[in-house]
Amino acid sequence: MVRKSTSKETARKPNMREAILAAAEELFAINGFNAVSVRDIAQAAGANPGSVTYHFKTKDGLLLEIYRRHCGPMNLRRSELLAAARRVRDLQDRLEAIVRAYVVPAFTSGSDLAGGGARFTRLRAVMSAEGNEVARKIIAQTFDDTSHAFIDAIHESLPHIPRADIVWRSHFLLGALYYSLVTPERVSRLSRGEADGSDAAGAIEQLVQATVAAFQAPALDQTAPARRRPALSSKT
C-alpha cells in the first residue's frame, strides 16, 4: 500500500517473477508451448534466461505455475455463478444462467491478472491441441470436477435429454469457446466486418445463445438404429 507502482507496465522492479509469468503466458497462448523458447520469454519479460530457471526450475515448471495461478480463481468464480444459476426458477432461464456461468469466467476470470482470463483460456486451448502433457494432467485434476458439476446442473434442467447427449453438447461448447479465442479474426473475416471476433462480450452472447439452443435440441435416439446415416465407408 505504501509503495505506489508507476502504473506503467514497465514497473521498476516489483517482481521479475510476475513479469516472466505474464510474458510466458502471452507467448504460450499465441504460439504454443514448443514454439516458444525460454530465451524468448526472458527477453519479452526483460529478464535474463537464467532468471527463469531460478524462479521456475524448468520450462514445464513455468507452465505449471501459470495453470496454478489461474485455475483456482477461475473455478471459484464458476462455482459461485453456478450456485446462483441453480437457484433460478424458470428452467429456460436457468439453463441460460448455467451456460453463462460456464462461459463468462473463461473470458473474464482472474480479474486482478492483467488481460483477464481470455488469454489463459486461449492458452488452455492451445495446450490441449498440442497434447501437452503437463497441461493434460492439470486439466484432468482440476477441471473434471467442474465439468461434471456443470453437466449435472444442465442435466437437471433438461431431464429428458440423455446424459451422453449433454456431455457431447458441452464438449462442443468447450470446443467452440476455445476456437473463438484461438482464431477470432476468422469471424471478422468471414462476416466481412459485420461481426468482431475479438469482442468478448459479443462472443459470449453469441456463444450462450447458440449453446442454449443446442442443449435444448431433441435427444438423439440411440436405440433406434439410425434413421438415415449417409456416406461413411461401409467398413470399420
Partner DNA sequence: TTATCTTTTGTACGATAGTACAAATCCCAT
Partner DNA sequence: ATGGGATTTGTACTATCGTACAAAAGATAA
How wide is the angle at C-alpha 157 spanned by C-alphas 154 and 75, nearest 5°?
35
From the list a second copy, DNA, none, pick the one residue 58 interacts with, judged by a Cβ distance below 5 to 8 Å according to partner type.
DNA
Residue found by looking up cell 484432468 in the block: 140
Taking the least distance from each CB to a second copy, the nearer of 16 and 82 is: 82
d(CA 37, CA 33): 8
Side-chain half-sphere CA neighbours of 225 within 13 A: 0
Among 15, 31, 48, 92, binds a second copy (CB under 8 A): 31
CB of residue 229 to a second copy, shortest distance in Å: 6
The minimum distance between CB 217 and a second copy, in angstroms, equals 3
Q: How many CB atoms lie within 10 A of CB 113?
A: 17
Q: Which of residues 32-91 bind DNA (CB under 7 A)?
A: 36-40, 47-55, 57-60
Using rule CB under 8 A, residue 65 touches a second copy: no
- Applying CB under 7 A, does 111 fall inside the site for DNA? no
Q: Within positions 196 to 235, which residues make up the interface with a second copy, using CB under 8 A?
A: 197, 200-201, 203-207, 209-218, 220, 226, 229-233
Report CA torsion sign: 206, 209, 212, 215: negative
Nearest C-alpha neighbor of 70 from the set 29, 126, 9, 119:
119
User: Reduced to 3 DSSP states, what percent helix, strand and coil does the chain have, rounded to the nearest 5?
Assistant: 70, 0, 30
Least distance CB 16 / a second copy (angstroms)? 27
Task: Please state, as a whole number, how many other Cβ atoms lie within 10 Å of the Cβ of residue 56.
Answer: 21
Binding to a second copy by CB under 8 A, coded x per residue (else -) over 88-127, reads: ------------x---x--xx--x----x--------xx-
Note whether 134 binds DNA by CB under 7 A: no
Q: Is the Cβ of residue 48 or residue 92 nearer to DNA in the bound state? A: 48
Tallying the residues shown for the chain, one arrives at 236
Q: Give whichever of 67 and 107 is closer to a second copy, judged by the CB atom.
A: 107
Q: Summarize as ranges the residues that interact with DNA (CB under 7 A).
A: 13, 16-17, 36-40, 47-55, 57-60
